[in-house]
Amino acid sequence: MAYVITDACVKDFVYAAECATSAIAPAAGDPAAGTISQVYINPDECIDCGNCATSASMGQFFRRATCLPTRHRLPRVNRAHFQ
């Protein structure tokens, strides 16, 4: 997984639209969009293109390798959404 989405993300579907591989879900039209509090990155589909990070304005995205110890749970949270 190249990127993780933090809990600072407030369900902005722009990130899903910017993703080159559709690794960010749910998309705005997805029925699941109304049932979640944020969007998530599928670690098996993320190709590290950086489109999500460049479209974000408030540090919602981090490279997995640079996650601070206080955010160690985020990769698991993102992966769990897709299992």
- Each of the 83 residues of the chain gets a pLDDT tens digit; together they read 578 887 777 677 888 888 899 998 888 888 888 888 888 889 889 998 888 887 776 667 666 656 666 666 778 888 888 88
Count how many domains the chain has.
1
Contact call for residues 11 and 32 (beta carbons, < 8 A): no
So what's the pLDDT on residue 1? 52
- First vs last Cα of the chain: how many Å apart? 15
So what's the pLDDT on residue 17? 85
Q: What range does the domain containing 39 cover?
A: 3-81
Could you tell me the pTM of the whole model? 0.78
So what's the pLDDT on residue 21? 92
CATH number at residue 40: 3.30.70.20
Q: How far apart are CA 37 and CA 12, in angstroms?
A: 10
